[in-house]
Structure 1
Amino acid sequence: MIRLLILLAILIAGLIAGPLLMNKTGYVLIALGDYTIETTGVVLATLILVLMGLIWCLDWLVRRIARSFGSSKSWFSDRSGRRAQKKASKAWEQLWQGHYGQAGAALAAAVPHAPLPDFPRLAAAYAEHRAGDKDERDRQLKALDQPLAGPAMLLHLGDVEAARKAFDELPAELKDAKSGNALAARLALAEGDMAGLWANIDALSDSDRDKYYQQAFQARLRVASQEGSASLSRLEQVLDKQSRQRPEVLASLALAHGALGEKAKGLDLVMPGIKKDPQPQLLATLPVLTDHESAASTQRQLLKWHHGRDRDPALLACLGGLSQVQGDLREARRYLEAALQLKDEGAWRQRLAEVLTKQGDFQGAVEQYRRLV
């Protein structure tokens, strides 16, 4: 607008300057019905220029008044917000001083005027929880813009039952999200539900995952073993590559298959790992998974793969266990005594005591049991 007025003003100023420089003012006659106006061109151009100046001034005045009214309206509308914020500042002091009921009400009143409403809502929920008003606490948490923050807050407050209820009421897409899986894992830990933790174990941090992995897997394995072979196979299929490289996981799976009468399937799980690296956890499963018929072939396979590892106590103890399964007590004793000379393990010593008992060496067996105690 102002640029257009300036341009017109320059043009009209040129119209005024031209006749003045030529010393000819010109003549203008304007007739409106019975009214006529006679004037010079210079005077008319000057009047138009003055009129444009008045229009510009009027426009500036109107916009200034409008801004003033807008500022006044904004000031009046923000007045209640400023009062609520002032009360909220006082509410924080009340919260620190332990006046939870008053603090909760003041913080709830500050929610509509807060730039981040969830922050005073969480503080109000905390205050109401400490004041004992769980209904108001739950009302504040349900109004959060971030729904997952509600059960997370309840879990932080130690109300695990309410946290579980609030989490179960969330939409499925939220519970299946990454943050929802992490919260589900924390809930399972708080409830002591290790089998439930297994479903969301990957949502934990690396340190927590390593800490709770074996517990969660063993709990889920017990459930699968109770459900039967099909459930155990499904659990095996969902294991990732990293889990399949854990010897304790493979050993537990193999023993579970053996307990269900599927010793051959258990051997198929552990033998590739033993061929690559004879871990103690894997070797310990062989005497359990082999019977009298298969023990000899399994022992020959071990000697073929690792014939040069005659200083490996776990391998020697495994060979002793396989010899015991075959009924070769002399070889079993020789292998087990050699293993115990390298490393003292209670399970190996107990197996040696059983071998000595079958050989009739009761004094030696008693000595082995005494060392166990």
Structure 2
Amino acid sequence: MIRVLLLIGILAAAMWFGPMLVNNAGYIKIIVAGTVFETTLLGLSLLILALIAVTWFIGIVLRKLLRLQHISFNFFRWRRQRKAQQAYELGLQAYAKQQWKLASQHLAKACHDDFMLEEKRLFAAYAAFYAGDINQANSYIAALSAESNSTLFVQADLLLQQDQAAQACVLLRDKVTADTEDKGLGQLYLYALQQAGQWQQLLQVVPLAIKQQWFDKDKWRQQRFDIYPAAISQLSQQQRFDENADYWLNLPAKERKSTAANVGRAWAMAQSGQNEAAEKLLVSQLQLDELPLVLPYLRKIPLGKSVLKLRKQAQHWLRDHASNGYVYALLAYLAEQEGEPQQAEIAWHKARQYEPKLG
């Protein structure tokens, strides 16, 4: 609006003063240090305009050479950039505070300037999504570079958060290959496969995840328990788990023999009624230091009353680790399996006493 008003003002001034300047060009004489400059007012005006044009051209060249494209010598552009930068700062602050609607409003204003535009659109897409405006979020995603891994990540991530894991898997399947360098994309693909229940495909991807180190050592230790127990038990229920199949044999031996994999085997045995064999396998595999990782999955295994050996193992651990809350949680699970709710409640009380996060 300001530009339009200025343009109208300039045109009006030109119409008013133009004919007068042409017919009465004026005369200007400047004497500096004995040097005399003589020209007309119109000539001086044209000279000033030429100097402005040269200055503008030099500014463009300097911006290109010094890579200062985000800096503008144009007042109006500079003003717009400054407002956009302020909006970006306020948007990030609101984003950090999880004030999604406010963040979405500020980031929308920040997108009016093209400096760091891709990053602004990424944040704006998430802010709009969390604010409940899915259409607006999709519009930001559509404006992102189609070839960028970041675009693919945000598309798949938002699909996962809308419980559309199967679509996320389709989106990521062709992009997560042996040449993938984006570990975040690989991690998201694993999560999508887990959420979609595509267990066989998940096991096929594991060697790639290990080779490319999508997770560090500690996180992969947790990932084993997120993958193998559910994958093996679910595939066994569907009568599709085969230890001679390529998807299993292609796994490193360390993975196939891991505690997590054996918990999955025990789970599958218990589901097929082999409770005693499942308990025997668990007793041979469980380690005290892995109990925090094992327990969430162990509690899903329907052992029934076949828990005597496990109970003895837990009591043995308690003799040397009387304040270990996870051992008490194990005892609570065993009591539940034996149909002793009172004993289970007592054990759970002890477990929460020594390990509050179990509550």
> Normalising by structure 1, what TM-score?
0.44
> Normalising by structure 2, what TM-score?
0.45
| Pair member with larger Rg | 1
| The structure with more helix, counted as a fraction of residues | 1
Bigger relative contact order, structure 1 or 2, given CA contacts below 8 A and separation 6+? 2
